[in-house]
Amino acid sequence: MKEDEKGAMTTYHVPALLQESIGGLNIKSDGIYLDLTFGGGGHSREILKHLDTGRLIGFDQDEDVLKNLSDGVDEEHFTFVNHNFKYMRHFLRYYGIEQVDGILADLGVSSHEFDEAERGFSFRFEAALDMRMNRRSDLKASDILNNYDREALLAIFRNYGEVENAKYLTDTIIQGRTKNEIRMTGDFLQLIAPCIPKQKEKKYVAKVYQALRIEVNKELDALSEMLQQSKDVLKTGARISVITYHSLEDRIVKNVFKTGNIDGIEEKDPIYGHVKKAFEEVNRKVITPSEEEIALNPRARSAKLRIAEKK
Ligand SMILES: C[S@@+](CC[C@H](N)C(=O)[O-])C[C@H]1O[C@@H](n2cnc3c(N)ncnc32)[C@H](O)[C@@H]1O
């Protein structure tokens, strides 16, 4: 718990599936581990509890996370990297590490990012349409809405939001932006109001926001790149736990853990015809939070955990 500017007590983030995801890593006290999504540090602190001479490297591309580093994170065993996890192999090389004993990734946004009005991740607040996790990057949600062509916008709403009337939504945005630039939550919601189905307002806008957020942060590219690199970065027998929050991410993780590639197509050895597998799934059935966890932390309700072991 921390005190905000107005003196109210706030929690940066409540970690989801904490015991299940960390337990699944089979942590060795002298091993090297990666927490690719440090956030409030909940998962990192749990990993550190299991380490003796081992080491943890935490990644997060959001600068706001820096304020959580003093909070019970043991510096002797911990290194923080304020970058996108898609550069993990590069940073490991920089630190002279070839392979690691386990990886944890708890994808998506933190409660802090979602609840800070000015970050623009939530349609609950009147704010500039930003949605960048990494504020050093250039592309904001408003840039997408004002500059992407029809085809690109349509693909985003269809593929990343699975928005049912994506064509109507895209045409409404394209028409609207010729009159006024789309900059703030209120302008945007007013513009797309005719597209929003009655009684499904929140669900619909959540999908639209999800689509924009995925594009702003290139989330699926980063995930695919990280999973690809994890095949080289993990030692044989080392484990990876990935927590996802929507079906697009979960599909990618499931495919890679099952077949070694994001399309889910099994690769066969060209000479012997054996199926080449990079991972063995530890849990075939996805792990979801218990009712007790959801009651305590409703934001964990869509979390899905998959664990795999490097072959
Ligand atoms: C769900 S939160 C993680 C919460 C954390 N496990 C905890 O216990 O507090 C996800 C975090 O990952 C970060 N993040 C998401 N995608 C990232 C990426 N590609 N590279 C680095 N950080 C990323 C976000 O900025 C956010 O802080």
HEC states along the chain? CEECCCCCEECCCCCCCHHHHHHCCCCCCCCEEEECCCCCCHHHHHHHHHCCCCEEEEECCCHHHHHHCCCCCCHHHEEEECCCHHHHHHHHHHCCCCCEEEEEEECCCCHHHHHCHHHCCCCCCCCECCCCCCCCCCCCHHHHHHHCCHHHHHHHHHHHCCCCCHHHHHHHHHHHHHHCCCCEHHHHHHHHHHHCCCCCHHHHHHHHHHHHHHHHHCHHHHHHHHHHHHHHHEEEEEEEEEEECCHHHHHHHHHHHHHCCCCCCCEECCCCCCEECCEEECCCCCECCCHHHHHHCHHHCCCEEEEEEEC
| Portion of the chain with pLDDT greater than 90, in percent | 90
Q: Quote the ligand 1 centre to 35 CA distance (angstroms).
A: 9
Residue 42 near ligand 1, beta carbon < 6 Å: yes
**What average pLDDT does the structure give for the chain?**
95
Task: Give the mean pLDDT of 181-186.
Answer: 98
Ligand 1 atom index nearest CA of 65: 27
pLDDT of residue 2: 53
Q: Among 119, 133, 219, 293, which residue has the most ligand 1 atoms within 8 Å of its CB, making it the best to mutate? A: 133
Q: Quote the ligand 1 centre to 262 CA distance (angstroms).
A: 21
Q: Which tokens belong to 128?
A: 């500039």
Residue 62 near ligand 1, beta carbon < 6 Å: yes
Residue 58 near ligand 1, beta carbon < 6 Å: no
Residue 28 has pLDDT above 70, yes or no: yes
- Find out whether 39 and 306 touch, Cβ atoms under 8 Å: no
Residue 5 has pLDDT above 60, yes or no: no
- Find out whether 52 and 125 touch, Cβ atoms under 8 Å: no
Q: Among 12, 25, 37, which residue has the most ligand 1 atoms within 8 Å of its CB, making it the best to mutate? A: 37
Task: Give the mean pLDDT of 16-24.
Answer: 98
- Give the tens place of pLDDT for each residue, 81-102: 999 999 999 999 999 999 999 9
Residue 36 has pLDDT above 50, yes or no: yes
Based on its alpha-carbon atoms, the radius of gyration of the chain, rounded to whole angstroms, reads 20
Q: Which tokens belong to 164?
A: 């049912």
Q: Quote the ligand 1 centre to 37 CA distance (angstroms).
A: 3
- Give the tens place of pLDDT for each residue, 211-242: 999 999 999 999 999 999 999 999 999 999 99
Q: Quote the ligand 1 centre to 39 CA distance (angstroms).
A: 5
pLDDT of residue 11: 87
Instruction: Using CA atoms of 249, 251, 256, 261 in order, give the dihedral in degrees to the nearest 10.
Output: -100
Q: Among 10, 60, 246, 304, which residue has the most ligand 1 atoms within 8 Å of its CB, making it the best to mutate? A: 60
Residue 1 has pLDDT above 70, yes or no: no
| Portion of the chain with pLDDT greater than 70, in percent | 96
For residue 37, how far is the Cα from the chain centroid?
Answer: 7
- pTM for the whole thing? 0.95
Cα gap 3→243, rounded to integer Å: 28
pLDDT of residue 10: 62
- Give the tens place of pLDDT for each residue, 40-79: 999 999 999 999 999 999 999 999 999 999 866 767 899 9
pLDDT of residue 253: 98
pLDDT of residue 236: 98
Q: Quote the ligand 1 centre to 110 CA distance (angstroms).
A: 6
pLDDT of residue 193: 98
Instruction: Quickly state the pLDDT bin for 8 (edges 50, 70, 90).
Output: very low
- Please count the other Cβ atoms lying within 10 Å of the Cβ belonging to residue 273: 7
- Give the tens place of pLDDT for each residue, 139-159: 999 999 999 999 999 999 999
pLDDT of residue 7: 44
Residue 119 near ligand 1, beta carbon < 6 Å: no
- Find out whether 52 and 30 touch, Cβ atoms under 8 Å: yes
Nearest residue (by CA) to ligand 1, atom 3, is: 39
Residue 114 has pLDDT above 70, yes or no: yes
Task: Give the mean pLDDT of 2-20.
Answer: 74
- Give the tens place of pLDDT for each residue, 283-309: 989 999 999 999 999 999 999 999 999
